[in-house]
A and B are shown apart, each in its own frame.
Chain A
Amino acid sequence: MSKPAARPSPPVSDEVRQTTCYMCACRCGINVHLDGGKVKYIEGNRDHPVNRGVLCAKGSAGVMQHLSPARLRAPLRRTGPRGSGQFEEISWDEAYAIAEGWLRPLRETAPERLAFFTGRDQSQSFTGLWAQAFGTPNYAAHGGFCSVNMAAAGIYTLGGAFWEFGQPDWERTKLLLLFGVAEDHDSNPIKIGLGQLKERGARVIGINPIRTGYNAIADDWFGITPGTDGLFIGALIHELLRAGKIDLDYLARYTNAPFLVNAEPGHEDEGLFLRDADGKALVRDRATGALCPFDTPGLRADLAADLRHEGVRHRSALSLLADAYLSDRYAPETVAPTCGIEAGRIRALAAELARVAFEEEIVVEQPWTDWKGERHDRMIGRPVSMHAMRGISAHSNGFQTCRALHILQILLGSVEVPGGFRFKPPYPKPVEAHPRPHGTARPGQPLDGPHLGYPLGPEDLLIDDEGKALRIDKAFTWEHPLSAHGLMHMVISNAHAGDPYRIDTLFLYMANMAWNSSMNTAETMAMLTDTDENGDYVIPHIIYSDAYASEMVAYADLILPDTTYLERHDCISLLDRPICEADAAADAIRWPVVEPDRDVKGFQTALVELGARLGLPGFVNDDGTAKYRDYADYIVNHERRPGIGPLAGWRGPDGEAQGRGAPNPDQLRRYIENGGFWIAHIPEEARFYKPWNAAYQDWAVKIGLFDAAQPFVFNLYAEPLRRFQRAAEGHGDIQPPEHLRARIRTAFTPIPEWYPPYEETAVDPDAFPLHALTQRPMHMYHSWGSQNAWLRQITNAHKLYLPAEVWEAEGFREGDWAYVTSAHGRIKVPVARMDALNGKTLWTWNAIGKRRGAWALDPDAPEATRGFLLNHLIGELLPPRGDGMRWANSDPVTGQAAWFDLRVKVEKAPPGPPTEPAFPPLSSPVGRGPAIVRFGEEFK
């Protein structure tokens, strides 16, 4: 390089192609710069609604993922024993023939013997459709081990939840509470939003045992003890109720707070709403004293009602809620020691919430009309917002904790108002408008409906007449009735145990179940390789699709190699997990900005082909020929309902229709021309009060989010939960098994009641006095980051962080190693001290520890010798109670994996690597990465 010109203007690239990132689940828009047909540089797309030009470390390192040495190159057939990593490359025709040979007989005789689970899939509306057409009830993605508590509590309470369902009103909020949020899926929007708040001087409060990342920049930090957030939130509600700092007008108009609940002890309908002949819930009109349907125009709903109707006592839902939360159980002084937070700080936070909500209200001068026809002059906002994620949801009391958080938001009147928490289309949508689960398999037939849904009562469970589970993961059974995302973490364990039945083929996509995505990793590997008395594998066939040589690859019999995210078609669909904003509906595509240089196919294209070979309905024409050429063809031409397809933009023959319209063969080109996404802004009058705003409801119908207006009120009191609780009390025909009655009575309270996490009550707290957690580094996405030459240099080894109290009590010193023991297992790990940490909590980064030989890394890479998983300490089952039952380590309501219930003890270990348990290295089907990377040389 000679001395550069004073104002150099080198050419940047030959061409920029705009697509959607897939370095995590955030789905930002990216500009991919190409030079000579090769990917040169990736930056954020400034026009994109998700990231508005910025891009995180993962996104910026996309080129190294695209060029990863761990990329699979061709379909693979296992040649060595399962778990060895020994394979031979085969052709796609051979691969399809093997898969077809296993799957066709299953479909014809017992479709449920296929279990198809799709991990961190972003195409669930498609993979779910395929599984439905095949006819197996055994389909879900990874929500059950991720954040179903957050999603389900949101749907049952508000008709939507956080992340892709909703967001804080970043522009207007004055106070943001973050509960249990480390790095989130909504990675860049949260960072952009926090930056906006900081710039405006708005306050951010972090409630988290660990003060990293977002919590590090929070103005105030509550280092709460894990699993106690429900108590903490309860104490805030206690304070607000005690002081009368709740939004009565909002509660009366927009929630079921005035609904009349049967309060007659022992009555058959105790705990259910008083309804009219049409089934509509009744409230008392304070003006007339009459009982009227809750949606009667001009009504003054009585929030304090306590009356006798036909001799039976009925009370308003709000008064029952007040009874529950005004109890001394939730007094700040009572919860303080359990939560590890001083009572005075809880009181001060409640006062701050009340002050900002009620004394700093904001007004948007925008008239609007509600669904009853009442015109409002302006939009009044309570500028308090909240966001939460896995920290509060990955507990066995997580569902009710998430519900309690939503109740706190509702009481403050801060949902769907300016400055508060706002939904993103197609949410909110009342729980009644969501599907119910379906699970009836019939030979040669598609399933009787969509797999996943939201039960409203015991009649919606997927159990047979004997109460036996229809699904392999036991979703929608009495063990976890509202398991809306399934229980991926139970599939291998249940299939191995033959409980509730044996399966033939396990078909997984993008889920590293032989490593970091399973609880109880070592035993999971043993289950995958276990043989029966004939020497046959207990799980006879395993098909896996992944783009990279992950740990799970070694445990499959047949590998369908996926592409990288720059080589594939995808749609980020309104039918699925869209990229909408609070002010707009939006969807997006991925498209092959470069063609693969290996014999690989996008997994969805492989499924299209497999579906056609198997003759699945919806995948073949009447004459039996393939209906779709590939996934791109499906994206454009599939119609879910007439005029509604995977993509909402540029529909109709001329491409001018939005939302509704006939398929447009030119649709993908239009997306590409527009930077890979489509966006439709919500009219001004429709932007807030979405569940009750007539203009929003009309707009939503117009663009096809739903087919008829569906206004609804928020559920302070959750009647569906009460229906399960009643059954546990002995009411109704569908009864839980005896051993679950007590637990359902406790966990299904229609008003959230905190109970201690299950592991805590199952183990001796003196033997295992500490909590142990993981957080995801901002520059890694689960297992994917370590194959990335740039990202792994930021973190390739990690330590277990110990709070000062534990560090000093055990006499640890820098460089020490420790044994960490739970009721389930023991690991040996390097440790370090951290003071910005709850005093009873240990933690480490997840996503770093790797199995030797995986990911094209050197077997002596620090990820393998010093990296580790906490998973070995976490059982998918709770410790045995001596009752012969297998109790899942999951939330009793939703089945969410209770990762964060973990209790441990820690003691000094002999220093030095390797971490334990250590496993023999895997053979690598792709070899190892090069010694030196000089990326960029080819462009000089």
Chain B
Amino acid sequence: MTSLPTTTERKLGLVIDLDTCVGCHACVVACKGWNTVADDGAPLSDVDAYGPDPVGTFLNRVHSFEVTPDDGGAARVVHFPRSCLHCEDAPCVTVCPTGASFKRAEDGIVLVNEDDCMGCGLCAWACPYGARELDLAAGVMKKCTLCVDRIYNENLPDADRVPACVRTCPAGARHFGDLGDPESEVSRLVAARDGMALMPECGTKPVNRYLPPRPRDVTSDERLDDAAEGSDRPSGFLGWLDRMLEAL
């Protein structure tokens, strides 16, 4: 058993806009590219990389699914990026037998100390979100670090001190910040757009938030009036045109 901090100074996390995400997987690959070369830790391996059943480690994946409204409206497709939600009450930490999994008191990021990880997989089993992946080549648990090696990195320009997925997202659907500060940009976005916690019923108190898709396919019976009423010229349009040109 590993204990969680009772409170954290900040609650760093992601806000993901499901209204804007086009499902392009840019975040998935930028995450892989950054984290596989990360200074510490084993690479994110790809087993059977060119074979029949490739299995690689990804810290972030996008799922796409269809939603058909109950009212018989048009079906929709939702793209849903999924990574660690950095829960306040993270069951993956408390279940860890070695103390390898931990949640930081300073910013709330949930990390794995690979030296202490024995690859038992209990944390992945405990996570209701499926956000952890055991690296098959290294035998250690991998998960989103919120790019802890970017966000404070003095070797990077200020603008780049954000997670790789946020920096790369072409549609601007991913936001990073302190969700513990009600005045932060991410908190305001959550308030303005009714941001949701994922599966709150699990009681894990996730930090990340999802902004739901805005209403779609709102029907309208708007209709243009006929401009050529009462015209005596053929096709009506030409009479209207004549009148308009005279008035110009």
Please tell me if the beta carbons of B168 and A245 are within 8 angstroms of each other in the complex. Answer: no
Please tell me if the beta carbons of B24 and A242 are within 8 angstroms of each other in the complex. Answer: no
CA distance A778 to B29 in the complex (A): 12
Please tell me if the beta carbons of B50 and A4 are within 8 angstroms of each other in the complex. Answer: no
Stretch at the interface among B83-91, B153-161, B197-205: B153-161
Residues in B whose Cβ lies below 8 Å from that of A326:
235-237
Q: Which residue of A lies closest to B114 (CB)?
A: A1
Please tell me if the beta carbons of A779 and B220 are within 8 angstroms of each other in the complex. Answer: no
Residues in B whose Cβ lies below 8 Å from that of A936:
36-38, 43-44
Q: Does B78 contact A (CB under 8 A)?
A: yes
Residues in B whose Cβ lies below 8 Å from that of A220:
216-218
**Among B58, B159, B169, B225, which residue has its beta carbon within 8 angstroms of that of A46?**
B159
Q: Which residue of A lies closest to B113 (CB)?
A: A3
Residues in A whose Cβ lies below 8 Å from that of B237:
241-242, 244, 322, 326
CA distance A8 to B148 in the complex (A): 7
CA distance A525 to B108 in the complex (A): 59
B160-176 contacts to A, CB under 8 A, are 164, 167-173
Q: Does B188 contact A (CB under 8 A)?
A: no
Please tell me if the beta carbons of A216 and B76 are within 8 angstroms of each other in the complex. Answer: yes
Please tell me if the beta carbons of B56 and A789 are within 8 angstroms of each other in the complex. Answer: yes
Q: Does B30 contact A (CB under 8 A)?
A: yes
Q: A1-B115, A40-B37, A323-B235 are in contact. Are A792 and B54 (CB under 8 A)?
A: yes
Residues in B whose Cβ lies below 8 Å from that of A243:
224-227
Stretch at the interface among A57-65, A98-106, A637-645: A57-65
CA distance A315 to B76 in the complex (A): 48
Residues in B whose Cβ lies below 8 Å from that of A191:
22, 24, 170-171
Instruction: Identify the interface centre among B32, B33, B106, B237: most chain A CB within 10 Å of its CB.
Output: B33
Please tell me if the beta carbons of B28 and A57 are within 8 angstroms of each other in the complex. Answer: yes
Whole-angstrom distance between the Cβ of B247 and the nearest chain A Cβ: 10
CA distance A35 to B217 in the complex (A): 50
Residues in A whose Cβ lies below 8 Å from that of B153:
8-10, 12
Please tell me if the beta carbons of A796 and B54 are within 8 angstroms of each other in the complex. Answer: yes
Chain A positions 33 through 56: 1 when the CB is less than 8 Å from some CB of chain B, otherwise 0: 001000011111010000101111
Q: Which residue of A lies closest to B112 (CB)?
A: A1
Please tell me if the beta carbons of B46 and A790 are within 8 angstroms of each other in the complex. Answer: yes
Whole-angstrom distance between the Cβ of A837 and the nearest chain B Cβ: 8
Residues in B whose Cβ lies below 8 Å from that of A192:
170-172
Please tell me if the beta carbons of B74 and A60 are within 8 angstroms of each other in the complex. Answer: no
CA distance A347 to B23 in the complex (A): 31
Please tell me if the beta carbons of A43 and B49 are within 8 angstroms of each other in the complex. Answer: no
A838-887 contacts to B, CB under 8 A, are 856-858, 860-862, 865
Please tell me if the beta carbons of B74 and A221 are within 8 angstroms of each other in the complex. Answer: yes
Main secondary structure on B side of the interface with A = loop
Chain B positions 215 through 248: 1 when the CB is less than 8 Å from some CB of chain A, otherwise 0: 0111111111111100000011110111011001
Q: Does A94 contact B (CB under 8 A)?
A: no
Stretch at the interface among A298-306, A598-606, A686-694: A298-306
Q: Does B119 contact A (CB under 8 A)?
A: no
CA distance A585 to B47 in the complex (A): 45
Residues in A whose Cβ lies below 8 Å from that of B115:
1-2
Residues in A whose Cβ lies below 8 Å from that of B54:
789, 792-793, 796
Please tell me if the beta carbons of B46 and A932 are within 8 angstroms of each other in the complex. Answer: yes
CA distance A930 to B46 in the complex (A): 10
B170-206 contacts to A, CB under 8 A, are 170-173
Q: Which residue of A lies closest to B48 (CB)?
A: A931
Please tell me if the beta carbons of B49 and A779 are within 8 angstroms of each other in the complex. Answer: no
Please tell me if the beta carbons of B25 and A778 are within 8 angstroms of each other in the complex. Answer: yes
CA distance A216 to B64 in the complex (A): 10
Q: Which residue of B lies closest to A40 (CB)?
A: B37
CA distance A350 to B56 in the complex (A): 49
Please tell me if the beta carbons of A300 and B248 are within 8 angstroms of each other in the complex. Answer: yes
Q: Which residue of B lies closest to A188 (CB)?
A: B170
Whole-angstrom distance between the Cβ of A28 and the nearest chain B Cβ: 9
Residues in B whose Cβ lies below 8 Å from that of A323:
235
Residues in B whose Cβ lies below 8 Å from that of A322:
235, 237-238, 241
Q: Does B26 contact A (CB under 8 A)?
A: yes
Residues in A whose Cβ lies below 8 Å from that of B48:
931-932
Residues in A whose Cβ lies below 8 Å from that of B149:
4, 8-10
Q: Which residue of B lies closest to A856 (CB)?
A: B50
Please tell me if the beta carbons of B32 and A790 are within 8 angstroms of each other in the complex. Answer: yes
CA distance A56 to B167 in the complex (A): 11
A-binding residues in B (CB < 8 A) = 17, 19-26, 28-30, 32-34, 36-52, 54-56, 58, 64, 66, 68, 74-79, 102, 104, 106, 111, 113-115, 137, 148-149, 152-156, 159, 164, 167-173, 213-214, 216-228, 235-238, 240-242, 244-245, 248
Starting from the known contacts A60-B29, A248-B245, A304-B238, 14 additional A-B residue pairs (CB-CB under 8 Å) come to: A10-B40, A59-B26, A188-B170, A211-B75, A217-B213, A244-B244, A322-B241, A323-B235, A326-B236, A348-B219, A348-B223, A352-B222, A836-B66, A930-B49
A-B contact pairs, 30 of them (CB 8 A): A1-B113, A1-B114, A4-B111, A8-B39, A12-B155, A44-B168, A54-B169, A57-B24, A60-B33, A194-B20, A198-B19, A211-B76, A213-B22, A217-B213, A219-B214, A239-B224, A242-B236, A303-B245, A304-B238, A318-B241, A352-B220, A778-B24, A794-B28, A835-B75, A856-B50, A861-B51, A928-B50, A930-B50, A934-B43, A935-B46
5 pairs of A and B residues whose beta carbons are closest in the complex:
A929-B50, A244-B227, A191-B170, A243-B224, A10-B39
B-binding residues in A (CB < 8 A) = 1-4, 6-12, 35, 40-44, 46, 51, 53-61, 63, 69, 183, 187-188, 191-192, 194-196, 198-199, 211-214, 216-221, 223, 239-245, 248-249, 286, 300, 302-304, 306, 318-319, 322-323, 326, 344-345, 347-348, 350-352, 354-355, 778-779, 787, 789-794, 796, 834-837, 856-858, 860-862, 865, 928-937, 939-940
